Structure 1
Amino acid sequence: MTARLHRAAVPAGLDQPVTPDQVGIVHLGIGAFHRAHQAVFTELAARATGERGWGILGVTQRSASVRDQLRPQGGVYSVVTAGTRASSLDLVGSVVDVAWPAEETARVLAAIAAPTTHVVTLTVTEKGYCRAVGGDLDVDCVGADLATLAAEEAGDGTGAASTSAIGLLVRGLAARRRAAAAARDRRPITVLSCDNMLDNGHVLERLLRSAVEAALPAAAASELLHWLAADVAVPCSMVDRIVPATTAAQRDAVERELGVRDEGLVVAEPFRQWVIEDRFAGPRPAWEMAGATLTADVAPWERAKLRLLNGTHSLLACAGRLAGHETIAQTVGDAAIAARARRLLFEDALPTLTPPDGADLTAYGESVLERFANPATGHTTVQVSSDSTQKIPIRWGGTIADRLAVGVVPHGAAFALAAWSELVRREAAGGRSVDDPRAGELRAIVAAAGAGDPAQAAPPDVACALVALPGLLPDAAGTDERLVDAILAEVDGLAAR
């Protein structure tokens, strides 16, 4: 059996990864993206400054798999940067360990409360924020954690395992406040969302406050809310890097190259970007030394990224899947779909954007399709088209509303919605599961359009009902006759293929 990669025995020819001397960051949702993005920025910042106090305790939300991959390796793993012409490999040592809340909630709470921890970061995907259709906190989603929070605030150390990222976070922050009060010191902390949501910091801050208000009596809630307002900063950020799921073949290839097995391997494209609102409650890593942009206003950056890159990604995923393409790169090679993507990029989304200082959004839009055409990234159409009801409002919704407001029909976005609608219809009609948090509603819509039989549902009827789904599009856009007519014209063409 091949030996595992470990920071104590780095293969010859590779630079020694950073060895942190303490945990300074707790990260919720340590999947492949975090390991190829924020952890890499943290690694490079530590190399540039020599600081060793920014070790990351990763928290895996869904299963123990990442913990079981990284713990035997002392947290170290490799990142393959895969370009269209060349690839490179580097080691990352900024992750100290990984904890799984199902078994290690107490450890995570203690880490968030520790005075040496100054930042909590999150990549838990849109649905990990436990929001209801209108955007408010879904109390049922976090109910168990809120009940435990109430007991912990009352002095009952229940030790119950956390069941949600938001619940775990608010429990950790409450534990930090209690620890600060007991030690008679201040422990300000920054909580930094790195998920693809507009105004992600503001969204997260509202959810935290809502969780406190839902869990605690008014007097106790007021005390914790006052501390959150005074000692917790929740800035916004925008992240960008394509990080597909790692395959067994890629792990085998790296094993042949290194002579050791790396179960924590991640593969990513060369491009990486991180724009962070410069509003921290205390110390932070020197991420700007690794190429991050610190700014007073993230909004123009994140709006451009969500509408140009993420919006195009979702169009390619839905349309490519309909056309039988397995990957996004294959889909970009489909001239008909690529033309629709360019229409969304340059005719629909670009006119709605104000370029951030120093940014060339036309060039950025061109780079989007070039990046998606990189076969090394391997993003699958199935993967990217999942959870679409969570993605459409922020990836297509703003573009659609803004164009309709000035009297322009966004035809690229209409095609995207038609492709999504037809994909949902075909999956439901074929008796296949729809991978979406609102799957039950989607299947019910298709069944209703077919008078109880999804297989009999007419594509135009399904499309009209789906785009009018509450919470999907803003400002009644889903029932706007101009948009609906454009969608139905596209549906007819897609259904005929």
Structure 2
Amino acid sequence: MKEEQLSVLKLSEINNDVDVPSYDLASITSGIVHFGAGNFHRAHQAVYCHSLLNMGETKWGITGVSLHSSAMRDNLVPQDYLYTVATLGGSLSFQVIGVIQKILVGPEKPQAVIDIVAEKQTLLVTTTITEKGYYLNSGEIDIDNEDIANDLKSIESPKTTYGYLAAACIKRSLIGAGPLTILCCDNMQAGGTSLENGVKMLLARHSPDTLIWLAENVAFISSMVDRVTPATDQKLKEKVAAKLNLLDAAPVAAEPFSQWIIEDRFAGVRPPFDKVGALFVEDITPFEQVKLRFLNAGHSMLASIGYLAGDQYVHQVLQRPAIARFVENTLKLNVMPVTPVPKSVNSEVYIDQVLERFRNRNLPYALLQVGTDSSQKIQQRWFPSIDNALMANGDSSYLALCIAAWVCFIQKSLLEGDLNDPLKEQFTNCVLMPALGNIEDFLSLAGAQKFKFFNNSSFMASVKQFCSDIVATDVEQTITTFINN
């Protein structure tokens, strides 16, 4: 194997069975600015843009923005921002993607980020900043957070996506840059509304006049995104290097499945993503709920339960029959009856497909990666379903066990030094309290006090009993006993 690195000059040397850009990389322009140029974005939205560019739609290149680390930029600059997507299903396939033109690191040059969003050629801003990037506390923007407080004081050097967008909107309004669409591509219900609320909050503080321009020129919209994309490891880098005969410092792996459903409320030009497999719909809400309550919720269940069972990857957890049956039953017996779905979706078939995708052993997805920021995720993935089930007098017993497993997951991962969560310090304080006496404290930190189940004595008693059972035996035995009763 050569020790040379992937680059534009080396594209012609790559094996013929690897998909490489058919477009001239020098001819594309960045019509899109994307916040959060991590693995998911590069294996999902960027691939749709890659397909558009291959069709001659040259204005849908991407400028990436990182609000924290320079690592992705530093990895991609030496290889001209090219990188490989390895699709790992029953067989392997490889694509070299060339849509990213540059990545800006916000803390290094905040004004450069503001300027690129304000440029007339920028028609679309997209985000994959994860749940914690929205700074929500029980569904509301946490104005006490230090980053939000910074941007409320000044947006000359923003700390948040809200701050960059607000500052850019002020500049766009002054220079007449034209309409702009801001599109949430995170696993967030009504994520576009969250972005709108944050930007409006900052404009009300810093430039109230811009709010009038905003109403006429900017659309904040949501989308439902779906593609399993695990973290990049050394094994993946070696697979890609062997296939390309070149080194790629930042390849990304993904499953064959990919879905993108977009709310059709664009301001100005709409990228023709429907030509490359995306779906435009009038109402995104039911599609968001399907993804959050079935796929994302199931992922979070497997992360908590699998970690307690001692597994490392998602597909391993589903090799345990009792746990696999439990997760399926939770989704079909507790969640499905209280989740409205579009007419085009068969809930039971969708759940079966989701679990089958999770079983893909060729795409090992680490449980700790799925379990990252779980205190933010379960607020949308689990809590509404519990309230809906209780209000409908439906079964919520499986979800009670899920909550108990999550509490035990937080406790164990803290003690083992594995927890990755923005509330880690606060959870640590809970763990220092007497065991099992602090379940309400854990759930309060995750925003449960805003939901009705938190004050439902019967439901909470079940959670506490399941916690005791897990501690007394183990999670797999607790689940086995429960589903056999």
TM-score (norm 2): 0.91
CA contact (8 A) 2:379 2:446 kept: no
Output the amino acid matched with 1:169. Answer: L
User: 1:30 offset after TM fit, Å?
Assistant: 0.3
Contact preservation (8 Å) 2:63, 2:100 = yes
- The answer to whether residue 97 in structure 2 is matched with residue 92 in structure 1 is yes
1:173 aligns with 2:174: no
Partner SS, residue 103 of structure 1: coil
For residue 65 of structure 1, the aligned residue among 68, 71, 77 is 71
- Distance, in Å, in 2 between the alignment partners of 1:253 and 1:443 is 39
* Alignment partners' CA distance in 2, 1:396 and 1:341: 13
Is 2:427 the counterpart of 1:442? yes
Flag as ranges the 4+ runs of structure 1 deviating above 6 A. none
Partner of 1:16: 20
1:397–1:473 Cα contact (<8 Å) kept: no
Deviation at 1:468, TM superposition (A): 4.7
Q: Which residue of 2 aligns with 1:454?
A: none
Matches within 5 A, 1:371-382: 371-382=357-368
| 1:222-247 Cα distance to aligned partner (Å, 9 max, x none) | x1111111111001111011000011
- The offset of 1:272, in angstroms, is 0.7
2:348 maps to 1:348: no
* CA 1:225–1:45: 2 relative to 1, 3 Å: same
Pair 1:203-2:194 in alignment: yes
Q: Deviations over 1:344-368 (max 9, x none)?
A: 2101111112221322221110011
In structure 2, the gaps of 5 or more residues are 475-485
Is the counterpart of residue 477 in structure 1 residue 449 in structure 2?
Answer: no
Distance 1:136 1:110 in 2: 25
CA distance in 1, matches of 2:272, 2:341: 26
* Post-superposition offset of 1:119: 0.2
TM-fit CA distance, 1:419: 0.5
Whole-Å separation in 1 of the counterparts to 2:418 and 2:93? 38
What are the equivalent positions in structure 2 for 1:51-450 lying under 5 Å apart? 51-83=57-89, 85-138=90-143, 140-149=146-155, 160=157, 162-180=158-176, 187-214=178-205, 216=206, 220-221=207-208, 223-428=209-414, 430=415, 432=417, 434-448=419-433, 450=434
- The 1-side partners of 2:175 and 2:249 are apart by 36
Alpha-carbon separation, structure 2, partners of 1:267 and 1:356: 30
Task: State percent identity of aligned pairs.
Answer: 33
Q: Contact (CA 8 Å) 2:138, 2:450: kept in 1 or not?
A: no
What letter is aligned with 1:41? Y
What is the total number of aligned residue pairs between the two structures? 465
Alignment correspondent of 2:471: 495
Q: Distance in 2 between matches of 1:251 and 1:425?
A: 34
- 1:150-171 Cα offsets, whole Å, 9 max, x none, are xx5xxxxxxx4x4322222222
The alignment partner of 2:141 has SS state of coil
Distance 1:291 1:473, change over 3 A: farther
Residue pair 1:241, 1:268 contacting (<8 A) in 2 also? yes
Describe how 1:38-57 pairs up with structure 2 within 5 A.
Answer: 38-48=45-55, 50-57=56-63
Q: Give CA-to-partner distance per residue, 1:41-73, whole Å, 9 cap, x none.
A: 11112323x110111001122211110111222
- Which amino acid in 1 is paired with 2:166? V
Offset of residue 433 of structure 1: 6.4
Q: Residue by residue, what CA displacement relative to the aligned partner does 1:314-364 show, whole Å, maximum 9, x if unpaired? A: 010000000100111111111121122012210111111222132222111
The residue type paired with residue 75 of structure 1 is Y
1:31 to 32, 38, 42: 38
RMSD: 1.9
Task: Please tell me the residue identity of whatever aligns with 2:186.
Answer: D
Q: Give unmatched runs, 5+ long, in structure 1.
A: 153-159, 181-185, 451-456
CA contact 2:125–2:182 (8 Å) conserved in 1? yes
In 2, Cα distance between the equivalents of 1:142 and 1:192?
Answer: 20
State how far apart, in whole Å, the 2-side matches of 1:398 and 1:134 are: 12
Question: Aligned-pair distance for 1:143?
Answer: 3.2
Distance in 1 of aligned mates of 2:59 and 2:249 = 26
Within 1, Cα distance between the matches of 2:117 and 2:216? Answer: 17
Change (3 A) 1:470 1:33: closer
1:2 paired residue number: 3
* CA distances 1:411-435 after superposition (whole Å, capped 9, x unpaired): 221111111111222344x374642
Distance across 2 between alignment mates of 1:3 and 1:43: 24
Per-residue Cα deviation, 1:119-173 (whole angstroms, up to 9, x for no partner): 0000000111123345124353233344443xx5xxxxxxx4x432222222222
Which amino acid is 1:366 matched to?
D
Cα deviation per residue 1:209-231 (whole Å; 9 max; x = unaligned)? 112223x2xxx32x111111111
Quick check: 2:134–2:141 contact (8 Å CA) kept in 1?
no
Q: TM-score by structure 1 length?
A: 0.89
